[in-house]
Structure formats: structure tokens, C-alpha cells
Amino acid sequence: MKLFATYRVLALLVGVLLAFCSLVAMPLKYLAADGGTWQRFGEQASILWVAHGWVFMIYVVVAFALSRKAGWSIAFTLVALVAGLVPLLIFWVERQVVRKVRDENPELTSSEPTGAVSS
């Protein structure tokens, strides 16, 4: 099943973009010396917020599809979706998702060694 692998790639991408935008670009844009090289860099890099938004859009769809396939609770699903909006949270959530899917729905990880045995 490709859904699980897609989810992991998107989670990583969303996480990196969000961390960069909120922890690097935004502080530089607002805190660096006005008009300086760093401030301008922060301002230009802010365009990545748009990239984050669009990747997050796809992430939400894929995460929701995975959630329904794996039969997650509403609460866990919500945490998985919202994780893409809280800096750094998604890296931890992704670990939880990987563990949960491997434990409860190994058939969704068929591209991995553990899944290959069972299928």
C-alpha cells in the first residue's frame, strides 16, 4: 500500500516547511535588523508559507484517507491533521502514526519488510 509511504513523505515535507517558515523565516523577517540581508532573506523566504499551505492541503487529504483505512479514533485523526499547523509537532506525530500503523494495520505497510511477510 502506497498510502502509508505517501503519508510519511508528506509529513516530513510539511514538518520541514513549517519549521523553516515559523522558526527561521518569520523571526528573521520581523526580528532581524530592518532592511538588512537577513531581514530581506526572511521576507523572500516567506513565500514558502504558500508552499506549506499547498503541501498541507495534500497532507490533510492523505492523512484522512489513511485514518479511515486504519480506523483511527476521531481524536487521533484530529491530532494527525492539526499536527501540520503546529511547528515541530508533526515529527512526533509521524512517529506515533508509524508505530500505530505497524502495530494495528501491518497490511498498510506492505512495502516494508514486516508487511511483506504477512501478505
Query: Distances from the Cα of 64 to the Cαs of 32, 36, 50, in angstroms?
Result: 38, 42, 21
Q: Per rule CB under 8 A, is residue 44 in the interface with other proteins? A: no
- Identity of the residue, 9 or 57, whose beta carbon is nearer to other proteins in the bound complex: 57
- Stretch of residues binding other proteins (CB under 8 A), selected from 10-18, 42-50, 84-92, 108-116: 42-50
Nearest to 75 by CA among 93, 87, 99: 93
- The residues that touch other proteins, with contacts defined as CB under 8 A, are 47, 49-50, 53-54, 57, 60-61, 64, 68
